[in-house]
Chains A and B, each alone.
Chain A
Amino acid sequence: EDQVTQSPEALRLQEGESSSLNCSYTVSGLRGLFWYRQDPGKGPEFLFTLYSAGEEKEKERLKATLTKKESFLHITAPKPEDSATYLCAVFRGGADGLTFGKGTHLIIQP
Chain B
Amino acid sequence: NAGVTQTPKFQVLKTGQSMTLQCAQDMNHNSMYWYRQDPGMGLRLIYYSASEGTTDKGEVPNGYNVSRLNKREFSLRLESAAPSQTSVYFCASSYSLTVADTQYFGPGTRLTVL
> Which positions in A face B, CB cutoff 8 Å?
4, 31-32, 34, 36, 41-46, 49, 51, 87, 89, 91, 93-98, 100-103
Is the pair A94, B100 in contact by a Cβ cutoff of 8 Å?
no
B61: Cβ under 8 A from any A Cβ: no
Interchain pairs with CB closer than 8 A, number:
58
The 7 tightest CB contacts between A and B, nearest first, are A32-B100, A43-B105, A100-B43, A97-B45, A100-B42, A102-B42, A31-B100
- Decide: A93 near B98, CB < 8 A? Known: A43-B90, A44-B90, A87-B43: yes
User: What is the distance, in angstroms, from A53's C-beta to the closest C-beta of chain B?
Assistant: 14
B2: Cβ under 8 A from any A Cβ: no
A and B contact pairs by CB, cutoff 8 A, 25 listed: A31-B99, A32-B100, A34-B103, A36-B105, A41-B108, A42-B107, A43-B4, A43-B108, A44-B43, A44-B105, A46-B102, A46-B103, A49-B100, A91-B100, A93-B100, A94-B97, A95-B48, A95-B50, A95-B56, A96-B45, A97-B33, A97-B103, A100-B43, A101-B42, A102-B41
B104: Cβ under 8 A from any A Cβ: yes
- Taken together as a complex, chains A and B put the C-alpha atoms of A2 and B86 apart, in Å, by 25
What residues of A have a CB within 8 angstroms of the CB of B106 in the complex? Answer: 43
List B11-54 residues whose CB lies under 8 Å from chain A. Answer: 33, 40-45, 48, 50
B70-114: contact bitstring with A at CB < 8 Å (1 yes, 0 no)? 000000000000000000001000000111101111111000000
Is the pair A94, B102 in contact by a Cβ cutoff of 8 Å?
no
User: What is the distance, in angstroms, from B90's C-beta to the closest C-beta of chain A?
Assistant: 5
> Which positions in B face A, CB cutoff 8 Å?
4, 33, 40-45, 48, 50, 56, 58, 90, 97-100, 102-108
The residue in chain B whose Cβ has the minimal distance to the Cβ of A98 is: B103
Is the pair A103, B42 in contact by a Cβ cutoff of 8 Å?
yes
User: What is the distance, in angstroms, from A51's C-beta to the closest C-beta of chain B?
Assistant: 7
What residues of A have a CB within 8 angstroms of the CB of B104 in the complex? Answer: 46
Is the pair B98, A94 in contact by a Cβ cutoff of 8 Å?
yes
User: What is the distance, in angstroms, from A1's C-beta to the closest C-beta of chain B?
Assistant: 10
User: What is the distance, in angstroms, from B27's C-beta to the closest C-beta of chain A?
Assistant: 12
